Structure 1
């Protein structure tokens, strides 16, 4: 197998110098994925500039690429992916929040949100959620920029096939390794020794290749220390997304199941 350039992106819908978009850059060589470096993108414009770099590369983005079909049809929105994303991008966050809140308010407790088919297998939050975490805003900020950059959204929207964008979810891989233990927090008071130990356990397992992805992560001593020390978990999440992209890069149809809704998309390795 030839080397494959891979990236993992821990996305935020409101990046800043204090809380940037984190990018892990690496290369897959057979069963080994080597981390080449980590970078910080402090704005959405910096993110757009980064997307323009020439391929070939495959990248895993920690943000939802689609909305639940049930929600889309209920709202009477377009059921063609490109038209749906254009419609969604044209709405303000306030308009989206009001529509989604009304949808949830009309449904029974325990079933407020509509889900995509991939949410259950991945253990992911519904992509219409606007708080804790605000993944609906991540979709709103991120996907239109992916489309504008002309990258290839595998099985969703054709683009430059040398620059492949996949939806990733670091929590899926983290849970495989440490179950429900928490390993990160943006709140200083919650950045505990227990969470640091959990990050160390994740990194150890990745280096030893103890995941169902069949890949070993290769790090320098300094990189290992950096991943464990970042109490926000953003650097580690970027690396987890990179490994999901590395796994998908060698699979037919990037590892998607045969029957995936082309409106909803799929999460790499779910």
Structure 2
């Protein structure tokens, strides 16, 4: 089974590409085969639509908080909600979400999904730092267009399975809250380089609760360490999370490790 991990950008470019880590699992070992990148959403969408079997972990939210959706009067069925959301312009999204936050008390501005607590993830309605609301807006409609299967949310092609992943969840387990990446040259410090090396060492040693260890060639390890943006390493972290879900499915779990009681509107981050 081909496994993929995706570090996503809602506005990819030559400077900030979408990165895919491709690999496979054999027992407890996850081998990295290759890294691919895309500087246009259309190229990424075309790759997703190709007829090949895979299980992937994607670093973008697959749903909005139920509290927010109900407040705005949007459809509470997942597909209808996503179709409604896709029709909005980004400025409209920003205005609606900003107005929602403005009416709420300090310390509780954003609505959260149930998965945000255990995952430690940003609210999926956040439109800046990081702009995950726009990542959802750009990415989920293309997953739907490609016809992929989203367990617990949307029935699609069972040969192409997309799971919501979050690399920060696995990174924090291994190196705490140390920063290991930066898109700005000024932020690409020796301390972050050391953190990337420590994170990769921990992945190769299998020091995670996922019960998996990463296998890769020295040249691949050097590529991951030297990518100071962390995009390649984040894609590999998502690859490990996808491998965990694929392993659960191979053991008979139809939801790939997602909780049976998860909210079918909000979705859930795999391994959280």
* TM-score, with structure 1 as normaliser: 0.98
1:57 corresponds in structure 2 to: 54
1:231 corresponds in structure 2 to: 228
Alignment of 1:264 onto 2:266? yes
Q: Secondary structure at the match of 2:256?
A: helix
1:255 corresponds in structure 2 to: 257
Q: How does 1:61-72 map to 2 (within 5 A)?
A: 61-72=58-69
1:23 to 20, 24, 35: 20
Cα distance in structure 2, aligned partners of 1:80 and 1:205: 40
Cα distance in structure 1, aligned partners of 2:79 and 2:43: 24
How far 1:250 sits from its partner (Å)? 1.7
2:82 corresponds in structure 1 to: 85
1:203 to 178, 200, 204: 200
How far 1:53 sits from its partner (Å)? 2.1
After superposition, what is the alpha-carbon deviation per residue over 1:180-233, rounded to whole angstroms, capped at 9, x for unaligned? 100000010110000000000010000010000000100100000000000000
Cα distance in structure 2, aligned partners of 1:58 and 1:156: 15
Cα distance in structure 1, aligned partners of 2:96 and 2:186: 35
Cα distance in structure 2, aligned partners of 1:55 and 1:154: 18
Cα distance in structure 1, aligned partners of 2:101 and 2:40: 31
Cα distance in structure 1, aligned partners of 2:185 and 2:72: 40
Cα distance in structure 2, aligned partners of 1:39 and 1:261: 33
Cα distance in structure 2, aligned partners of 1:154 and 1:24: 21
1:155 corresponds in structure 2 to: 152
2:94 corresponds in structure 1 to: 97
* TM-score, with structure 2 as normaliser: 0.97
Equivalences, count: 267
How far 1:55 sits from its partner (Å)? 2.8
Q: Secondary structure at the match of 1:263?
A: coil
Cα distance in structure 1, aligned partners of 2:54 and 2:144: 16
How far 1:236 sits from its partner (Å)? 0.0
2:108 corresponds in structure 1 to: 111
Alignment of 1:139 onto 2:128? no
Cα distance in structure 2, aligned partners of 1:216 and 1:143: 29
Q: How does 1:165-176 map to 2 (within 5 A)?
A: 165-176=162-173
Alignment of 1:128 onto 2:125? yes
Structure 2 stretches lacking a partner, 5+ long? none
How far 1:54 sits from its partner (Å)? 1.9
Q: Runs of 4+ in structure 1 displaced over 6 angstroms?
A: none
Q: What is the RMSD computed on CA atoms of the aligned residues?
A: 0.6
- Compare 47-56 and 32-41 and name the one that shifted more: 47-56
How far 1:258 sits from its partner (Å)? 2.1
Structure 1 stretches lacking a partner, 5+ long? none
